């Protein structure tokens, strides 16, 4: 039976609580006990670690399709321990964050962008996509924000900063704009435009999860940090709109999104392919998990996972945001035994465990609260809650469209210094490929000539941590028209092979493309 309070009791409650609400609204503050603050910080880190392992077995196994309902997603005993023991790189979502947390802890809240870039570039862990290209750029003297700029990094729109921005919100409780400022400094090491917006959005959701108790409010307020005219904002606003039209049918939203927004414009590997690692796509899946999960921890992860594509990172972000709102102590017990097994274990490539992380980020959060006008006194913290503000507009890959020029292996350079030439009619080109050489200290010097003039000499290394992400060469600044691009290896080495797996050319949107063979 539904309880209906007596009218006098209603008035008494109203008189008791209205003054508190009015003060909070007027002053824009929220007061939490320190134990609640720590509980929420722990929840955020625990949630993303659980979510990452939950979706791990399906990562990029379902590209452009949902994971069918009859495919069981399991979370067996010792699941996290198994990844820690056998596939620790799964947790790049977490140890990437911890690189930045460690720099803040060591150098303080004013640590310069270069300190984060250097720590990231020289870290021993493997990286991919925008992260690896950002690393390559930094190692070759191109520092942020240029290292993440789309004309210097074909992966600028990829998911990378989205999956490693959790720390920015978790150290900025109730302060989404402070989280955005951190993301501006660090997120441009590897991303730009939509790729950066993915991290700004995730960071803002974490920050808001400390002071809001409704997931839809968190999603919608966090989107206010993204410029209205951007691709990212338009696409994520569509998800929110579809949710309000039908809050129980996530598959409808998934279908509509994939019909309208499934193209990847930048990633050399996944352009014109079913896979999509673009931040607009994967942030949309995070939002779908949160919105349609409606506060249920398991359901939130399942939806974010069943959306497919980067299906470990997306439930990681969704579960992290939700567990920040709920708090560590309110994560359902069924998910906790596996987590407890690894909380004292250092993450791969790091000397930091989850239990270390909880304390480090709690200390940073206290300092951020005071820096931004709040108070830390006795057993409480008073947070000066920030109204979300839009970050600046920046957008890559505008007005151009990709087209496939060639597929299948073609050699750009071998130990015989073989050359190759591609001709096309357009305004840009990206060559997706790799170098192989048994001597990992060897750096190939590949000369690239455009229309008979040397454009640049590209340094290529087969050492996995020093390689370019997957693009041998790219150029988005060509004048619209017919072009011939040639490659020549200047320093042949025994056993070296430089291969092009795909060549993509770009045309302006008002240009009728022609393939010139």
What is the SS3 string spanning 334-396? HHHHHHHCCCCCECCCCCCEHHHHHHHHHHHHHHHHHHCCCEEECCEEEEECCCCCCCCCCCC
- Looking at the structure, do residues 344 and 409 belong to the same domain, yes or no? no
* Per-residue model confidence (pLDDT) at position 415: 81
pLDDT digit string, tens, across residues 88-147: 999 999 999 999 999 999 999 999 999 999 999 999 999 999 999 999 999 999 999 999
- Neighbour count for residue 411 (Cβ, 10 Å): 16
Q: Please say which residue of 384, 408, 443 terminates a domain.
A: 384
Asked if residue 329 belongs to a domain, the reply is: yes
Residues 314 and 437 in one domain: no
pLDDT of residue 20: 33
pLDDT digits (tens, 9 = 90+) for 329-380: 999 999 999 999 999 999 999 999 999 999 999 999 999 999 999 999 999 9
- CATH code of the domain covering residue 490: 2.60.120.260
- Note whether residue 393 is domain-resident: no
Structurally, how many domains does the chain consist of?
Answer: 2
In a domain? residue 256? yes
- Whether residue 357 contacts residue 45, with contact meaning beta carbons closer than 8 Å, is answered with yes
Q: How confident is the model at residue 463 (pLDDT cuts 50, 70, 90)?
A: very high
Are 173 and 293 found together in one domain? yes
Instruction: Report yes or no on 392 lying in a domain.
Output: no
- Does 227 share its domain with 282? yes
Same structural domain for residues 338 and 473?
no
- pLDDT of amino acid 419: 78
23, pLDDT greater than 70:
no
State pTM to two decimals. 0.93
CATH number of the structural domain spanning residue 105: 1.10.4080.10
3-state secondary structure of 450: strand
One domain for residues 212 and 346: yes
Same domain membership, residue 429 and residue 352: no
Task: Please state the length of the chain.
Answer: 517
What is the pLDDT, as a whole number, of residue 515?
38
- Quick: pLDDT tens for 279-334: 999 999 999 999 999 999 999 999 999 999 999 999 999 999 999 999 999 999 99
CA distances, 351 to each of 89, 95, 354 (Å): 15, 10, 10
* Pair 95, 164 in one domain: yes
| Residues 228 and 129 placed together within one structural domain of the fold | yes
Which domain does 482 fall in, by range?
400-508
Domain edge (last residue) among 338, 355, 384: 384
**8 within a domain of the structure (yes/no):** no
Task: Classify residue 5: in a domain, yes or no.
Answer: no
Tell whether 362 and 429 lie within a shared domain: no
Please tell me whether residues 320 and 290 are part of one structural domain: yes
In a shared domain, residues 332 and 305? yes
Query: Once rounded to an integer, what is the mean pLDDT over residues 202-218?
Result: 98
Predicted local distance difference test score (pLDDT) of residue 318? 98
């Amino acid at each position: 039976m539904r309880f209906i309070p007596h009218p006098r009791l209603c008035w008494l409650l109203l008189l008791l609580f209205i003054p508190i609400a009015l003060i909070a609204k007027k002053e824009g503050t929220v007061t939490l006990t320190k134990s609640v603050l720590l509980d929420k910080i722990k929840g955020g880190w625990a949630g993303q670690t659980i979510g990452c392992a939950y979706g791990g077995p399906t990562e990029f196994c379902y590209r452009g399709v949902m994971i069918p309902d009859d495919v069981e997603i399991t979370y067996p005993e010792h699941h996290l321990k198994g990844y820690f023991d056998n596939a620790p790189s799964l947790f790049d979502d977490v140890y990437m964050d911890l690189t930045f947390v460690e720099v803040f802890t060591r150098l303080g809240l004013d640590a310069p962008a270069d300190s984060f870039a250097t720590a990231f570039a020289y870290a021993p862990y493997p990286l991919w996509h925008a992260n690896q290209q950002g690393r390559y750029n930094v190692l070759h003297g191109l520092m942020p924000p240029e290292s993440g700029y789309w004309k210097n990094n074909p992966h600028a729109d990829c998911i990378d900063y989205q999956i490693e921005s959790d720390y920015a919100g978790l150290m900025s409780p109730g302060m989404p704009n402070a989280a955005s400022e951190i993301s501006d400094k660090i997120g441009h090491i590897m991303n730009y435009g939509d790729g950066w917006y993915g991290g700004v959005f995730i960071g803002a959701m974490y920050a808001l999860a400390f002071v809001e108790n409704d997931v839809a409010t968190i999603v919608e307020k966090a989107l206010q940090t993204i410029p209205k005219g951007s691709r990212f904002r338009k696409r994520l606003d569509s998800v929110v709109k579809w949710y309000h039209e039908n809050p129980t049918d996530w598959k409808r939203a998934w279908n509509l999104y994939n019909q309208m927004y499934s193209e990847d414009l930048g990633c050399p590997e996944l352009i014109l392919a079913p896979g999509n690692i673009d931040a607009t796509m994967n942030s949309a899946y995070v939002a779908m998990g949160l919105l349609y999960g409606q506060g249920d921890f398991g359901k939130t992860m399942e939806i974010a996972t069943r959306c497919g594509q980067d299906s470990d990172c997306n439930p990681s972000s969704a579960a992290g945001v939700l567990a920040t709102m709920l708090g560590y102590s309110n994560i359902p017990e069924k998910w906790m035994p596996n987590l407890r097994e690894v909380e004292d274990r250092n993450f791969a490539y790091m000397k930091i465990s989850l239990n270390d992380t909880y304390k480090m980020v709690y200390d940073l959060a206290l300092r951020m609260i005071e820096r931004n006008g709040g108070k830390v006194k006795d057993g409480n913290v008073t947070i000066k809650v920030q109204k979300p503000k839009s970050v600046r507009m920046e957008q890559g890959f505008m007005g151009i469209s990709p087209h496939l020029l060639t597929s299948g292996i073609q050699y750009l350079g071998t130990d015989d210094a073989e050359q190759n030439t591609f001709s096309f009619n357009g305004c840009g080109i990206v060559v997706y490929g790799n170098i192989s050489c048994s001597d990992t200290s060897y750096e190939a010097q590949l000369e690239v000539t455009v229309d008979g003039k040397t454009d640049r000499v590209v340094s290529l290394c087969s050492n996995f941590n020093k390689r370019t992400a997957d693009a041998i060469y790219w150029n988005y600044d060509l004048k619209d028209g017919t072009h011939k691009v040639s490659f020549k290896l200047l320093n042949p080495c025994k056993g070296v092979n430089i291969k092009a797996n795909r060549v993509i050319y770009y045309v302006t949107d008002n240009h009728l493309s022609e393939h010139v063979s």
